[in-house]
Amino acid sequence: MNNDQLLVKIEKIVIQGVSDEQWLPIINSVDLHLNRGEVLGLIGESGAGKSTLGLAAMGFARDGCRISSGTVKFDGIDLISADAQTKRSLLGSRIAYVAQSAAASFNPAHKIINQHTEAPIQHGVSGRSESEKDAIELYHRLRLPTPDEIGFRYPHQVSGGQLQRAMTAMAMSCRPDLIIFDEPTTALDVTTQIEVLAAIRDIVKQFNTAAIYITHDLAVVAQMADRIKVLLKGDEVEESDTDSMLKNPQKDYTKSLWAVRSFTREEKPLASKEEMPVVRVRNVTAAYAKIPVLHNVSFDIHASRTVAVVGESGSGKSTVARCITGLLKPSEGAIEFDGVPLPADYRQRTVEQLKQAQMIYQMADTALNPRKRIREIIGRPVEFYLGLRGRKKEERVRELLDQIELDPDKFIDRLPSELSGGQKQRIGIARALAADPKFIICDEVTSALDQLVAEGILKLLARLQDSLGLAYMFITHDLATVRAISDEVVVMKDGRVVEAGGKTEMFTPPHHEYTSLLLSSVPEMDPNWLTELLEQRGVDNIGDAAIDRMNQA
Amino acid sequence: MKAVVLIILNRLALGVVTLFAVSVLIFAAVNMLPGDFAQAILGQGATEEAIEAIREDLGLNKNAIVRYTDWLGGILKGDFGVSFAQANFSSFAGEDTSKGGIGSVAAQLEPRFKNTLFLAGVAAIIAVPLSLILGIMAALYRNSIFDRFVNISTLSSISSPEFFLAYVLILFLAVLNPILPSLSNIYAEMTFPDRLHKTLLPALTLTLVVMAHMMRMTRAAIINLLASPYIEMARLKGLKPARVIIFHALPNALAPIINVIALNLAYLVTGVVVVEVVFVYPGIGQLFVDSVKIRDIPVVQACCLVFAAAYILLNLTADIFSILSNPRLRHPK
Amino acid sequence: MDIFLWYLFWAVAIGIFGWVFRFTGRKVQWPSDRLNVYFRDMPLMVGIGFVFGLVILYVVFHYYFIDKSTFFRWAVQGFLIFAIASWLFLTLGKHVGTQATRKVFRQMPLTASFGILIIIIYAILSVFAGVIAPYGQEEIFEKINVLPGGDPALGGDPRFPLGTDQLGRDLLSRLIYGGQNTVGIAFITTILAFLIGATFGFLAATLSGWFDQAVSRVVDALMAIPQLIFALLLLTIATAWAGSNKELITVYMVVIIAVLDSTRVFRLARAVGFNIVVMDYIEAAKLRGENLSYLIFREILPNAYAPLLAEFGLRFCFVFLTIAALSFLGIGIQPPLADWGTMVRDLAQFINFAQFSPHTAALPLMAAGAIALLTVAVNFVVDWMLHKSSGLKD
C-alpha cells in the first residue's frame, strides 16, 4: 500500500454548537489532511474543539452540534453529503473510533467479545467464529492478561487500562484504514497509561493504520504522532511534523505551551533534626467503614517548605489530608501541630487550631459556593477568624485579592461563575490565605487546569510561600508538578509510604522499585522516549504487569 | 449469583418489615379515635350498659397491644373482623367471623377486590403497551412536532384531576355519542363481554391518567439511555439503527421500563378510588369511600391495608426486577 | 369487533400512504437541496407521521363544522383563544420590562407563557374574589335552579349568567369564591408541607448519621401507604374528632395533607441537600468551624432554591388535586364554603343534559376544568424551569 496516498481531506470545515438557543462556532474553518498509515496528533487545551474535529473526520457530529460548511472526504467519498447507509457502511469497517472512557463506552449488558464481533459481522468482513478467533489474536498482540478468556467477561469485570486496550482491539476488528483515538489514556494512571500507549502504538504500526490521536498531553502526542496539529479555541495554530514541532515551534502560543514544563524551584536545604515541624503525621492508620486505607503513615512538614505527596489513584494520598484536617479519625496514630497533638475530630478542635491549617481544593468549581460573591467568599474567613468587620474587612479582602494578582475593583463583586478556571483557583488560594494560616494543604490544585494556567498557579504559590513562610503539603499524581515545586517527596502506594526524602535525592537513582516505575512512566517530550524506555525495561515490565510482579515479589 | 439472591432476600425482608410497620401505623391511627368503637357504633344517646356490653364483645377492654396482635392474627387467617354497618347487634356476640359470615369484612371485600382487579387489569392491558410504544417513539423522534405534541398532551392529562377526564369521556362517549354506558353496574352473573363493555369507560379514564405518566417516564428513561457513550459507540461502529436499539439500548432499558410499569400500576391503586366513585363501579375504592363516610372503621382499616399491601408489593416488584436486570449485579467480579 | 377491524384498516391505510408519501417525495426533484436530502434521509415513521397528522387535521375540521358538536367547537375555540392570548402575552413580555425580564421572555416557549398568564389570572381572581364576584358565596336568592345562559325564555336570568343552584346561590360567584378557597387552602397546605419537609430534609442531609436514619425510616413507612388512601383514613378519624365543627375539619385536612405531602418534600430536600453537602465549599465551611445554622441557611439553602421552587410548583399541583379529589368525594372542604371539587360533585348529574342544554351540561366541566387549567398551567411552568436548569442535555 502506498503511504503517500491521501486518505482523509477536510477543507474549511465549520462546526457549530448550540448554546443558549443560538448556534456558536466550535471549529472555524479548519483544514486537515491525512495520508494512509500516518498518525496525526491533534492537541489543544480544553475547549479547543479537538474531539469535535476528530468526530467530524468520521462525518459525525454529536447531538447539539452540526457541520455547517466545508467538506470531509474519506478516500474520495464525500462524507457530508453521503446518505446514512453509505456512512454506516464506512463506520466500523473502514473508520473506527476509540473513546476516552472505555468503561462508559462498552455496553454493560454484553460480553466484550460479543461487542467486538458485532462490526465484522454487520459489515460482512467475517463470520462470528472467525472474528472471535481474530479478537483473541488481537488481545494477544495488545498484551492483555489472559487473552483467551478476557473477551468472555463483562466490561465491569475488567480494569480500565485493559478495557481501553480491548476497545482498541475492537476498533481493529475490521482492520480499518483510519482510527480516531479520542484521549484514550486521559482517565488512566501514569503507570497504566504507558502500557496502553505502547500497545496502541505497536498495533497501529503493525497494520499500517492511519490514525488521528487526540490529546491535551504534549509528551504523549510526541510518542504517538508523525505530525502534530495545534488547535486553540476552534482555530488552527500551526501544524508540522513531530520533530520540528517539538524543537522549533513557530507560533507564540505553541512556544508558551512548550515553555510550561521549564518552571522549577531550587530545593531548599533539609530542615535540621532539632527544628520543630509545623505538622507531624505520626504512625497514622485509618480505615473507611472497616476497609483499611492507610497503614502506619508518618512524615513531617516544616515551615517554608513543600512536601509533595505522590501516588496514583487509590494510594491513600487524599486520605492523609482528611486525617490531618480531622474529617477522618485515624484508628491509630496522631497528628501533631507545632508539637501539640490535635484532637482527631475537627469538631473538637479550637478555632485557633482550625485557622492554622487551611485547604485548597482540586476542583475550583465545587470549592467555591456558586451563590456567593467573591467579597463574601474571602470576607467570611477574615471576619470569622480575625474578627475584622466593615471597612477593615473590606481592606483586608482587597489586600488579599492584590496578593493573588487579581484586580480588586474588577473582581470583588463577581460570582464564581463569572471567573475562569485559573481565577477561581486563585480565589480558593485567597480564601485559604484569609485565615492567615501557617500550613496549607494543596489537593491536586493544578490537575484540572490547562498547563499555562497551572504554571501561573504554581508560581503564585511559590511566591506566597517565600513571602509568608507557609508550609505546604502538595498532593499530586503529576511528577512534573512535583519536580517544579517540592522540597521533599513522599511516595505512597496502597496506603503505605513507599519512599520519602529530599527532591533531588528522590529524582536520582537508585530508587525504590515502585518509585522507579512511577518516575519512568511519566512521558517526556522526547519522541524517542517510549521506544528507549521499552528497550530499557522490556514490554513486560511496565504498567500493571510490573506492579503485579512487584506485589508477588 | 449468590450476591443477587442475598440482595433480593434483603429486599423481601424489607418489604415484610414495611408491611408490618404500615399495619402498626394504620392500627395506631384508628386507635386515635375519640372515645372508642363502642361509642362510635351506638352514638351519643346510648346507655352506659349497652356500650359496656359492646366493649366486651369487641374485646375493647383489653390493652392495645393485645388487640393489635388479635387483629393482625385474624388478618393472617383471612379474617378482617366485622363491619359495623352490616353487623346485627343481637347476634353480634354469637357469630363466628372467621368463617366469613354476612357481616364480615372479608365477605364484603372479596367480590369488590376482584372487580377492582378487573378494572385495573383492563386499564393496564390498554395502557402499558400503548404508552411504551408512544414513549419510545417520542424519545426516538425527540424535539420533533410529534414529541412536542405528546409532551403537551401528556402534561395536560397528568395535571388534570381524574374526575375531569372522567366527565369529559362521559360527555363525549356516553352522552353525546352513546357508545359506552356511563354507569358501571357490575354484578357477578354478567358475561365477560358485558362486563368488559361496562368497565371500558372507567378503564379508559384510568388509562389516560396512567398512560401519561408512563409515557413521560419511558421517554425520559430512553433519552437518558440514548445519551450514554456506548450508544454513541454503537452508532460509530456503523450498526443499523434497529440493531442499536434492540441489541444495545433495549437490554439496558429493561430495568427502567419495568420500574416505570410497576410504579404506575402502584399509581393505579390510588387513581382507582376517584374513578370508581364517578362511575359507581362496585370496587374496593367505592367501598372504601362509602365506609369512610359512615365511619365503618373495620372496613376502612381493611381497605387501607389492602391498598397499602398492593402498593408495597408493586414497588417491591419494581425493585427486584431492576436488581435482576443489572448486569453488574448478575455477573459480579 | 367491527370497530377494531375499522381501526386496523385505517392503521394499514395510513402506513401505506406514509410510504407513498415518502416515495413520491424522493421521486420529485425539489428546488431546494435541503428538501431533497430531507426526503432521502426520512425514516418511514416520519412519513407515516405526516400522513397521520393530515388525517387528524381533517378530522378536527370535519367535526368542527358539524352542527351538533357544540362541545368540540367550544374546546377548539378555547384552545385557540388561549393560544393567541399567551402568544400576545409572550410578545408583550419580549418588548416591555427590564433587560432581564425581556431576556427571560425571549427564551420562553409558548406553553410556559401560557402557564404564567393563567397563574397571574388565577392569582388576581383569588385575591380579589370579593371585589370581582357579583354576590357573596353564601348569599341565597329566591330563584332556585336558574339555568345558565341568562336567557329568560330558556329558564335563565340575566342577573345570574351561570344560573343558581338548588339553594338559590349564584353559581358564578360560587365559582369565583371556589377559586379563592381551593387555591388558598392548597397554597397554605403546600407552604406548611414545605416548612416541615425542607427543615427535616436539610437537617438530615447536614447532620446525617442516626438523625437521618430515624427520619428517613419514618418517612419510608408513611410513604408506603398511598397518599390519598392514607389521607382518607386520617380524615375519617379527624372528622370524628371535629364532630359538628365544619371549619375544624378543614383545618385538620390542611394539617393531614401537609404532613403526608411533606414526606415527598423531605425526600427531595434531603437529596438536594446531600448533593450540596458533598461539595468542597461545604467541607471548607465545616473545617472553618461554622455552626449548623450558618451551614444550612448561608451555604446550602441559596443553592437549593431552583430545585425547591420547581418542587413547590409540583407539590402545589399535587396538594391542589388531592384537596379537590377529597372534596369531590365529599370529605374535603366543607360547606358552606364554596369549592370546585364539591361543585363538580353537586353539578355532576347535569352532564346528562348535554344533548338538549349544552350550557347546563358545561357547568360541572367548568368547575373541573378550572382545576385542570391551573394545574396544567403550573406544570407547564415547572416543566420549562426544569428544562432550563437541566441545561441543554437532550
Per-residue pLDDT at B95: 44
Per-residue pLDDT at B333: 65
Structural domain span for residue B271: 111-284
Lowest mean pLDDT among A186-195, A276-285, B114-123: A186-195
The per-residue pLDDT for range B122-181, each reduced to its tens digit, is 999 999 999 988 888 888 888 888 888 888 888 888 888 888 999 999 888 888 888 888
Give chains near B: 3+ CB pairs under 8 A: A, C
Per-residue pLDDT at B1: 62
Per-residue pLDDT at C196: 94
Does residue B271 form part of some domain?
yes
Lowest mean pLDDT among B21-25, B60-64, C73-77, C316-320: B60-64
The per-residue pLDDT for range A385-422, each reduced to its tens digit, is 998 888 999 999 999 999 998 999 999 999 998 888 88
A263–chain B nearest CA distance, Å:
38
Q: Spell out where chain C has E strands.
A: none
ipTM, 2 dp: 0.86
Helix (H, G, I), strand (E, B) or coil at A162: helix
What whole-number percentage of chain B has pLDDT above 70? 87
Per-residue pLDDT at A97: 93
B64 interfaces chain C, CB cutoff of 8 Å: no
Does residue B274 form part of some domain?
yes
The 8-class DSSP code of residue B92 comes to T
Among partner residues B137, B167, B227, which is closest to C364 by beta-carbon distance?
Answer: B167
For residue A101, which residues of chain B lie inside 8 Å, CB to CB?
A: 229
Identify the closest residue of chain C to B28 by CA–CA distance.
C234
Among partner residues A109, A110, A118, which is closest to B239 by beta-carbon distance?
Answer: A118
Per-residue pLDDT at B60: 66
What whole-number percentage of chain A has pLDDT above 70? 98
Whether residue B328 contacts residue B4, with contact meaning beta carbons closer than 8 Å, is answered with no
For residue B274, which residues of chain C lie inside 8 Å, CB to CB?
A: 228, 325, 328-329
Per-residue pLDDT at A135: 92
- Tell me: pLDDT of C178 over 50: yes
φ/ψ of residue A178, rounded to 5: -140, 135
- Tell me: pLDDT of C136 over 70: yes
Q: Would residue B43 be called left, alpha or beta, if left means φ above 0 and alpha means ψ between -120 and 50 degrees?
A: left
Average pLDDT over residues A368-380: 92
The per-residue pLDDT for range A431-479, each reduced to its tens digit, is 999 999 999 999 988 887 877 888 889 999 999 999 999 999 999 888 8
The per-residue pLDDT for range B59-106, each reduced to its tens digit, is 666 777 888 888 888 888 777 777 766 654 434 444 444 444 556 778
Residues 6+ apart with CB under 8 A from C244: none
The per-residue pLDDT for range C137-152, each reduced to its tens digit, is 777 777 777 777 767 7
Per-residue pLDDT at B89: 45
Cα→Cα distances C239→A302, B284, C250, Å: 73, 22, 9
Per-residue pLDDT at B98: 43
Residue A182 or residue A217, greater confidence: A182
CB contact under 8 A, B167 and C351: yes
CB contact under 8 A, A346 and C286: yes
The per-residue pLDDT for range B39-62, each reduced to its tens digit, is 666 666 667 777 777 666 666 667
Could you tell me the domains of chain A? 3-105+179-261 (3.40.50.300), 279-507 (3.40.50.300)
Does residue B54 form part of some domain?
no
Helix (H, G, I), strand (E, B) or coil at C17: helix
C348 interfaces chain B, CB cutoff of 8 Å: yes
Among partner residues C107, C288, C392, which is closest to A381 by beta-carbon distance?
Answer: C288
Number of structural domains, chain B?
1
Per-residue pLDDT at C392: 39
C385 interfaces chain B, CB cutoff of 8 Å: no
Residue B89 or residue C82, greater confidence: C82
Kindly state the cell numbers that stand for C51: 400522513
Per-residue pLDDT at B99: 43
| pTM check: above 0.90 | no
- Tell me: pLDDT of C366 over 90: no
C93–chain B nearest CA distance, Å:
22
A114 interfaces chain C, CB cutoff of 8 Å: no
CB contact under 8 A, B160 and C372: yes
C393 interfaces chain B, CB cutoff of 8 Å: yes
B247–chain A nearest CA distance, Å:
9
Residue C1 or residue C367, greater confidence: C367
CB contact under 8 A, C232 and B293: no
DSSP secondary structure letters along B52-85: HHHHHHHTTTS-HHHHHHHHHHHHHTT---B-TT
Whether residue C227 contacts residue C322, with contact meaning beta carbons closer than 8 Å, is answered with yes
The residue length of chain B stands at 333
Residue spans per domain, chain C: 1-67, 171-389
Average pLDDT, chain B: 81
Return the number of other C-beta atoms located less than 10 Å from residue A290's C-beta: 6
Helical segments of A106-216, H only: 112-116, 118-122, 128-141, 160-172, 190-206
CATH of the domain at B271: 1.10.3720.10
Per-residue pLDDT at A399: 93
State the residue for C-alpha cell 450514554: B228
Average pLDDT over residues A72-100: 88
C171-389: CATH number: 1.10.3720.10
State the residue for C-alpha cell 363538580: C344
Cβ neighbourhood burial of C95 (10 Å; 0-12, 13-18, 19+) = exposed
Identify the closest residue of chain A to B142 by CA–CA distance.
A63
Among partner residues A63, A101, A109, which is closest to B229 by beta-carbon distance?
Answer: A101
Residue C134 or residue A261, greater confidence: C134
Does residue B75 form part of some domain?
no
- Tell me: pLDDT of C34 over 90: no
A381 interfaces chain C, CB cutoff of 8 Å: yes
- 3-state SS, B214-279, equals HHHHHHHHHHHHHCCHHHHHHHHCCCCHHHHHHHHHHHHHHHHHHHHHHHHHHHHHHHHHHHHHHH
The per-residue pLDDT for range A249-304, each reduced to its tens digit, is 888 888 877 766 667 777 777 777 778 889 999 899 998 878 888 999 999 999 88
Among partner residues B227, B240, B251, which is closest to A109 by beta-carbon distance?
Answer: B251
The per-residue pLDDT for range A424-437, each reduced to its tens digit, is 999 999 999 999 99
Residue A182 or residue B2, greater confidence: A182
CA atoms of A365 and C312, how far apart (whole Å): 28
Helix (H, G, I), strand (E, B) or coil at A7: strand
Residues 62-81, chain C: which have Cβ within 8 Å of B?
68-69, 71
Among partner residues B21, B171, B227, which is closest to C393 by beta-carbon distance?
Answer: B227
- Tell me: pLDDT of A324 over 90: yes
B138–chain A nearest CA distance, Å:
16
- Taking each helix axis as running N to C, give the angle between helix C227-242 and helix C301-329, from 0 to 180 degrees, rounded to the nearest 10: 70
A368 interfaces chain C, CB cutoff of 8 Å: yes
Whether residue B97 contacts residue B83, with contact meaning beta carbons closer than 8 Å, is answered with no
CA atoms of A244 and B34, how far apart (whole Å): 92
Among partner residues A62, A105, A157, which is closest to B233 by beta-carbon distance?
Answer: A105
A371 interfaces chain C, CB cutoff of 8 Å: yes
Residue A268 or residue A168, greater confidence: A168
What whole-number percentage of chain C has pLDDT above 70? 98
A111–chain B nearest CA distance, Å:
10
CB contact under 8 A, B227 and A88: no
